[in-house]
Amino acid sequence: MPELPEVETTARGIRSHIESRKILDVKIRNNRLRWPVDNNLSKILASQTLKSVTRRAKYLLLNFETGTLIIHLGMSGSLRVITEPTELKKHDHISLFFDNEIELRYHDPRRFGAMLWTEELIEQHPLFIKLGPEPSEILDPDYLYKLSRDKKAAIKSFIMDNHHIVGVGNIYANEALFLSGIHPKRAAGKISKARFRVLQTHIQAVLKKAIEQGGTTLRDFVNSDGQPGYFAQQLNVYGKAGESCPVCETTIKSLTIAQRNTFYCPNCQR
DNA sequence: AAGGATTCCTGTTGGC
DNA sequence: TGCCAACAGGAATCCT
């Protein structure tokens, strides 16, 4: 389940292998992802040089001379840098071949991911134009507080909404709310400025820390199974219904918010 | 318009 | 043990 830190780790992991390299060919074995992958991708990309690999929200951006290849890993996607002949696995849907004998191989069993070519300015693209800021780039400590006034949605839904802030997936929403002592179902618009400052800080800190931990496994990226090991991080509540709260030992409960599994400590979070 | 529900998909898990 | 339904989840899109 690639969360933002995993996407960032992937960007860092593939960057040095393919940046400033030229595409020789693209092979699409299965074009049915979230949206159909353009079968002309090979024609479009052949002989183009990859200028840079960047990230916006959970999208990976391969920036070429005439446009951008947008890649999303969905919830089961991964990219691997292949350096020597490697047997194709089931769901290895797409390969990009570079002129340094590197293959970038996209694998996605559930096919919630995406690979889209665009020649638009990326921030003008429909998928990007309404995105909120990156957590690390929010400077105003009251940014989320100000946005939330009059909002009746549950705070958990509010912080997971890309229009407000990007990159806060289910795991980090749960963890940040726990660290902030806020009940996930509380109406966003009813949370005080002071508590929102705490929450915003925790969202930023928890993602930053996870990215740093993901970075520690970069060394093994090429030979890994494509899953950067940021999972090593410790989780307080996510997936821990029935276990004891690490702070007060109250039994952690779960409930559903917006069709998402939600975990919280009924004593610590109000 | 805001916010909840639906939808895509397959590997894993739990129940019988 | 084996089969199968339920479940998980990012986020666009549909619906109320």
Report how far Cα A37 is from the mean position of its chain's Cα atoms. 20
For strand C, the positions having any atom within 7 A of a protein Cβ are: 7-13
Question: What was the pLDDT predicted at A233?
Answer: 57
Question: What was the pLDDT predicted at A76?
Answer: 87
Nearest nucleotide relative to A1: CA against C1': C9
The model's pTM:
0.93
Q: Which amino acid is at A140?
A: D
The pLDDT tens digits for A259-268 are 889 999 999 9
Question: What was the pLDDT predicted at A1?
Answer: 64
How far is Cα A92 from Cα A77, in angstroms, rounded to an integer? Answer: 10
Question: What was the pLDDT predicted at A218?
Answer: 42
Contacts of A21 (CB under 8 A, 6+ apart): A49, A50, A98, A99, A100, A102
Out of A6, A8, A55, A58, the active site residue is A58
CB of A193 within 7 Å of some strand C atom? no
CB of A103 within 7 Å of some strand C atom? no
Asked if A109 is an active-site residue, the reply is no
Asked if A3 is an active-site residue, the reply is yes
What is the mean pLDDT, run by run of 10 residues, along chain A of 270 residues? Answer: 84 94 96 93 96 95 96 90 91 96 94 94 92 94 94 94 92 93 95 96 91 57 47 75 92 90 94
**Residue matched to tokens 């109250």:** A250
Token pair for A218: 């970069």
Q: For Cα atoms A189, A201, A11, give the angle at the middle one, nearest 5 degrees.
A: 110
Asked if A2 is an active-site residue, the reply is yes
Out of A22, A111, A253, A260, the active site residue is A260
CB of A112 within 7 Å of some strand C atom? yes
Asked if A260 is an active-site residue, the reply is yes
